């Protein structure tokens, strides 16, 4: 079961120049389409005098939510090579914006592809890449007398405790790496009075 993914921790930049055209690449960690939209608005305003502000993004640990945008460059010469760099580095939750200042000399389609690819590669090369785990959450309801049994499992399996409340009826929400969840749930289910509510039931 694939339960890890690679992303970047903070924004990074790369610059590539070719025949007086300057390509400024900015790689940004993102989690949502709203964040992407906000970043794009910022960079489109910041580089309002640039000829093109092209980008590509990839979201989600399954790496199925992605888009490439050429922003007026010939089709497939900008967004696609940027996305290609995201793919070849197996990254996700990332947006790469490449800003082009035209230097007066046309690069041709193959030149553009090389330039956008190189600029994106520079931004990725200067980024800090981390591997993260895909985590799932589960909530367990139980009666107070069985608290020790639950806490023993938590201590041994080491999930992160997200929320807990202790009344006559107690509840605890735990987060753990996806591949370790079945074992955690199997152990919790064996505790008397325990009832499991996973995310899908909430």
Q: Specify whether 124 is located in the same domain as 138.
A: no
Torsion of CA 71, 77, 79, 83, to 10 degrees: 180
Q: Specify whether 7 is located in the same domain as 93.
A: yes
195 pLDDT band, cuts 50/70/90, is confident
C-alpha 114/C-alpha 11 separation (Å) is 22
Cα distances (angstroms) measured from residue 80 to each of 14, 66, 67, 76, 133:
17, 11, 9, 5, 27
Q: Specify whether 50 is located in the same domain as 125.
A: yes
62 pLDDT band, cuts 50/70/90, is confident
- End residue of a domain, out of 96, 130, 164: 130
- End residue of a domain, out of 80, 97, 130: 130
In contact, 107 and 98? CB cutoff 8 Å: no
- The model's pLDDT over 64-110, given as tens digits with 9 standing for 90+, comes to 999 999 999 999 999 999 999 999 999 999 999 999 998 888 888 99
Question: Of 175, 132, 179, which Cα lies nearest the Cα of 154?
Answer: 175
Question: Of 126, 72, 59, which Cα lies nearest the Cα of 99?
Answer: 72
199 pLDDT band, cuts 50/70/90, is low
State in Å, rounded, how far the first CA of the chain is from the last one. Answer: 24
pLDDT of residue 202: 41
Statement: residue 198 has pLDDT above 70? no
Statement: residue 201 has pLDDT above 50? no
115 pLDDT band, cuts 50/70/90, is very high
124 pLDDT band, cuts 50/70/90, is very high
Three-class secondary structure of residue 191 per DSSP = coil
pLDDT of residue 61: 85
- The model's pLDDT over 153-181, given as tens digits with 9 standing for 90+, comes to 999 999 999 999 987 789 999 999 999 99
Domain that holds residue 105: 2-130
Statement: residue 8 has pLDDT above 90? yes
CATH code at 35?
3.30.230.30
Q: Mean pLDDT over all residues of the chain? A: 91
Q: Specify whether 159 is located in the same domain as 63.
A: no
Domain count of the chain? 2
């Amino acid at each position: 079961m694939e339960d890890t993914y690679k992303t970047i921790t903070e924004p990074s930049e790369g610059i590539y120049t070719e025949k007086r055209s300057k390509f400024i690449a900015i790689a940004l960690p993102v989690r949502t389409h709203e964040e992407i939209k906000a970043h794009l608005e910022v960079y489109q305003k910041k580089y309002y005098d640039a000829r093109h502000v092209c980008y590509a993004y990839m979201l989600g640990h399954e790496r199925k939510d992605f888009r490439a945008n050429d922003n007026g460059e010939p089709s497939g010469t900008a967004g696609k090579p940027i996305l290609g760099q995201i793919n070849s580095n197996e990254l996700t939750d990332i947006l790469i914006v490449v800003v082009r200042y035209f230097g007066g000399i046309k690069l041709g389609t193959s030149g553009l592809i090389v330039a956008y690819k190189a600029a994106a590669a520079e931004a990725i090369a200067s980024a800090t890449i981390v591997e993260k785990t895909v985590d799932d959450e589960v909530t367990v309801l139980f009666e107070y007398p069985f608290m020790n049994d639950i806490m023993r499992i938590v201590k041994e399996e080491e999930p992160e405790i997200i929320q807990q409340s202790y009344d006559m009826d107690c509840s605890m929400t735990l987060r753990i790496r996806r591949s370790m969840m079945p074992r955690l749930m199997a152990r919790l289910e064996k505790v008397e009075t325990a009832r499991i509510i996973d995310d899908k039931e909430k």
